[in-house]
Amino acid sequence: MNKPPAFQFYARDWLVGTARLTLEEEGAYIRLLAHQWIDGHIPTDERERARLLGVDLRKLRRIFVKLGKHFPAGSNGGLKNVRLEDERRKQAEYRELQSKKGKARHEKA
């Protein structure tokens, strides 16, 4: 199945939810969300996460003090932002519903 290329972004929720982050932390957060969207999770390995962000381990650890709570361990491995996975589920449900509607229209024709 084709993966959707984008996820819903709620500007108000983002601004409220990231108000206490530095710009660097906020940038790392959105980058990690983008990697999760593409890969299904972000790595548990710190070195791999540091590479994704383009930072050294010391900086990753400093940034992840605030971001870690947003990426708990997923049931299938890796770290996952729960809200992003909810968005993924909603998109899949919507696509399935639209597919069923299309098939039903085709059968009526």
pLDDT of the residue at 103: 79
pLDDT of the residue at 1: 57
Distance CA 96, CA 71 (A): 27
| Residues 53 and 63 sit within 8 Å (Cβ to Cβ) | yes
Distance CA 101, CA 81 (A): 31
pLDDT of the residue at 92: 86
Which regions in the chain score pLDDT beneath 70? 1
| Residues 20 and 6 sit within 8 Å (Cβ to Cβ) | no
pLDDT of the residue at 33: 98
Task: Give the side-chain half-sphere CA count within 13 A for 6.
Answer: 3
Q: Which of 3.30.43, 1.10.10, 1.10.3470, 1.10.1060 would CATH assign to domain 11-80?
A: 1.10.10
Distance CA 51, CA 35 (A): 12
Distance CA 51, CA 88 (A): 25
Nearest alpha-carbon partner for 70 in 84, 89, 91, 59: 84
pLDDT of the residue at 105: 78
| Residues 97 and 103 sit within 8 Å (Cβ to Cβ) | no
For the full predicted model, state whether its pTM sits above 0.95. no
